[in-house]
Amino acid sequence: MDFSLSEEQTQIQQVARDFARNEILPRAAHYDETAEFPTPIVNQARELGFTALNVPVEFGGAGLGALEIAIVAEELAYACAGICTCITLNSLIADAVDLGCNENQKKRAYEILSKGFGAYCLTEPGAGSDAAALATRAERTERGYRLNGSKTWISHAPQAEIMVVFAKTDTDKAHQGISAFLVDPKAPGVNVGKPLPKMGQKASPCAEVTFDNVELEKEALMGAEGEGFKLAMKVFDRSRPMVASVGVGVSRRCLEEATRYATQRKTMGVPIASHQAVGFKLAEMGMKTEAARQLVRLAAWKLESGKNCTLEAAYAKAFAADTAMESAIEAVQVFGGYGYSKEYPAEKLMRDAKVLQIYEGTSEIQRAIMTRELTKLYGAR
């Protein structure tokens, strides 16, 4: 077994690392403070192909695989998880396009994603973890469908030029009644709200989106009616290793910041890292960051090999998100009073880490997925 990265993967890692350290790190505090969208950084990232990581090369994307995407996400998130989300979110929409669209739809969607932004509209005010409970409706009309309903927490809704929207085409059914549509945010009846104020990852805006009698052509439907829920779950199998990798990046940053501080700060005449209670925090961070990275790479490898990776993607997402949060809490503790200060990086890391346990399926939902998959594998028959 060979754990080393290929020459090409090492190069991609180096480009992402340099970009993160030179362009994101110095400006991260500004975007956290102002909650502005980091347009200049995202434009630079686009030149490197990072905003269209998995869009095929023939459509202007970077055409990268799951492992390479994870490598890039770890590096960008090390510098700022919020700006990383701004840069990499398109890969979630591109996954939906790849899995659910026909050739005409792909051409249109990929061209938009390689130059601009997309949004993934699943969550509603009354339906998050329980996606089957969503209430947005797509009624059939002569020309296609009429869309009504509202979504919330939609990342990059204010920037989006294309939306993947999940709606019920059959309200008598739960999962099987859901279909997916490609929607133009400029269509009459689509309204995007103001960015929602939030705790962390402030550079990455989320907003409510409402659909008020939005007329869709038949060609807006992705795949067949009733296939939306399955599509959403398949997309998450692909996107969760990348989100997990954001957790790895955050946790690695916590480890490095806390270790640097713990070897400089002295109490009782010695660096605080020499106190076992502090040193062991660094040990836990190091051990769990590496374990999270390996879970990400296992899930990415299974994905790339065409194997089912639902279980491994859930392992990676929950473990890396929980590790990022734990490392951030401990980093604040290692910094003592300074950990609580905005002058030091630990408090931002803690605010940025928290949402990793919530979006793309909460840590509880990941454990529910693991339970389901494990009972399929090992349950008594």
Catalytic (active-site) positions: 360
**Minimum CB distance to ligand FAD, residue 114 (Å):** 19
In this complex, which beta carbon is closest to ligand FAD, that of residue 128 or of residue 247? 128
Q: What are the C-alpha distances in Å from 272 to residues 47, 284, 312, 343?
A: 43, 16, 37, 20
**Minimum CB distance to ligand FAD, residue 369 (Å):** 10
Q: How many angstroms separate the CA atoms of 259 and 207, rounded?
A: 37
Beta partners for 209?
Answer: 151, 192
In this complex, which beta carbon is closest to ligand FAD, that of residue 243 or of residue 331? 243
Residue with tokens 């790849």: 98
**Minimum CB distance to ligand FAD, residue 346 (Å):** 20
Which 91-130 positions form the footprint of ligand FAD (CB under 6 A)? Answer: 120-123, 128-129
In this complex, which beta carbon is closest to ligand FAD, that of residue 217 or of residue 364? 364
Which 139-198 positions form the footprint of ligand FAD (CB under 6 A)? Answer: 153-155, 198
Which 236-255 positions form the footprint of ligand FAD (CB under 6 A)? Answer: none
Q: How many angstroms separate the CA atoms of 21 and 78, rounded?
A: 9
Q: Could you give phi then psi for residue 270, rounded to 5 degrees?
A: -135, 155
In this complex, which beta carbon is closest to ligand FAD, that of residue 239 or of residue 259? 239
What number of H helices and E strands is found in the chain? 12, 10
**Minimum CB distance to ligand FAD, residue 329 (Å):** 17
**Minimum CB distance to ligand FAD, residue 83 (Å):** 14
Q: Which of the ranges 59-67, 104-112, 335-343, 359-367 carries the binding residues for ligand FAD, by CB under 6 A?
A: 359-367
Q: Does 362 bind ligand FAD (CB under 6 A)?
A: yes
- Paired tokens of 73: 């996400």
**Minimum CB distance to ligand FAD, residue 293 (Å):** 23
Q: Hey, which bits of the chain come out as E strands?
A: 118-121, 137-140, 144-155, 162-168, 178-183, 190-192, 206-217, 221-222, 266-267, 270-271
CB 101 within 8 A of CB 182: yes
In this complex, which beta carbon is closest to ligand FAD, that of residue 105 or of residue 150? 150
Q: How many angstroms separate the CA atoms of 45 and 115, rounded?
A: 11
Q: Does 203 bind ligand FAD (CB under 6 A)?
A: no
Q: Which residue is nearest to ligand FAD (CB)?
A: 128
Q: How many residues bind ligand FAD (CB under 6 A)?
A: 20
In this complex, which beta carbon is closest to ligand FAD, that of residue 91 or of residue 259? 91
Provide the 3-class DSSP secondary structure of residue 150. Answer: strand
What sign results for the dihedral spanned by CA atoms 298, 303, 309, 314?
Answer: positive
* Site residues, ligand FAD (CB under 6 A): 120-123, 128-129, 153-155, 198, 201, 206, 355, 358-359, 361-362, 364-365, 368
